[in-house]
Structure 1
């Protein structure tokens, strides 16, 4: 479990990290440098879920061997599917990261939503619903590896 008490934001006790794949962990279907190592380290404290329509058909190969769950969702109504998945994990126990319009409800529903803004871009709605915006997935994952960074950003 990932636990931190942030003044003015409250206590976070997260059991799950839910991640979008393309545009968040990967670019053009290819896992970004530095992600694998961070996910491996984070998996010691929190259950990791990658939820994706797998646009490029590469997610299973890219994440092979990592201690995480891959959740495939069909095209169409992906935003609702991602939201329902977060709710099924007990939304107050979830930290979510994503960049697309189909991530908006997931980011809004999770205890902490982090919008990732990399080369693929970020939906303006995702930016508005997130608690935090990060310019790179490695920086966002590092927020969990160095939790006082979350305090610095989210405290009242």
Structure 2
């Protein structure tokens, strides 16, 4: 579990990291450098989940390993499928990270929703639904590994 104290707000008690794939941890179907090693490190505190429509058909090959749970969703109502996944895990124990329009409900519903704007950009409604936004997935993962960064950003 990852516990993050936020002065002026509730303490986050996170058990799951739910990640979109393309546009978030991958670009053009390829996982970004250093992401898997950071996820492996985070897996000591959080259960790692990747939920995706798998646009490029590469998620299973790219994220194979026993520390990542992969879920490929259908083509319809993707935003609702991702939200339902977070709900099933227990939204108050989830940090969710994404960039696409289909990630907005997931980010809004999770205890901590993080938008990331990289090569694919970030849907405006997803940015608005997030608690935090970062310019790279590496910065997101580093902030989870050094959680006082999140405390500093979210304190009231």
Shorter-chain TM-score: which interval?
over 0.9
* Within-5 A mapping of 1:5-44: 5-44=5-44
Q: Is residue 145 from structure 1 mapped to residue 115 from structure 2 by the alignment?
A: no
> Deviations for 1:41-94, whole angstroms, at most 9, x for unmatched residues?
000110010000111000011111251100110111000000000000110000
Q: CA RMSD in A?
A: 0.7
- Number of aligned residue pairs: 156
Does the CA-based 8 Å contact 1:40-1:66 persist in structure 2? no
> Equivalent residue for 2:126?
126
| TM-score, with length taken from structure 1 | 0.98
* Within-5 A mapping of 1:1-156: 1-156=1-156
What is the CA–CA distance in structure 1 between the aligned matches of 2:144 and 2:133, rounded to whole Å?
A: 14
What is the CA–CA distance in structure 2 between the aligned matches of 1:6 and 1:38, rounded to whole Å?
A: 23
Q: Structure 1: 5+ residue runs without aligned partners?
A: none
What is the CA–CA distance in structure 2 between the aligned matches of 1:35 and 1:66, rounded to whole Å?
A: 15
Secondary structure of 2:50's match? strand
Q: Structure 2: 5+ residue runs without aligned partners?
A: none
Deviation at 1:9?
2.4
CA gap of 1:2–1:106, structure 2 versus 1, over 3 A, is same
What is the CA–CA distance in structure 2 between the aligned matches of 1:117 and 1:8, rounded to whole Å?
A: 27
What is the CA–CA distance in structure 2 between the aligned matches of 1:15 and 1:151, rounded to whole Å?
A: 17
| TM-score, with length taken from structure 2 | 0.98
Deviates more, 1:94-103 or 1:65-74: 65-74
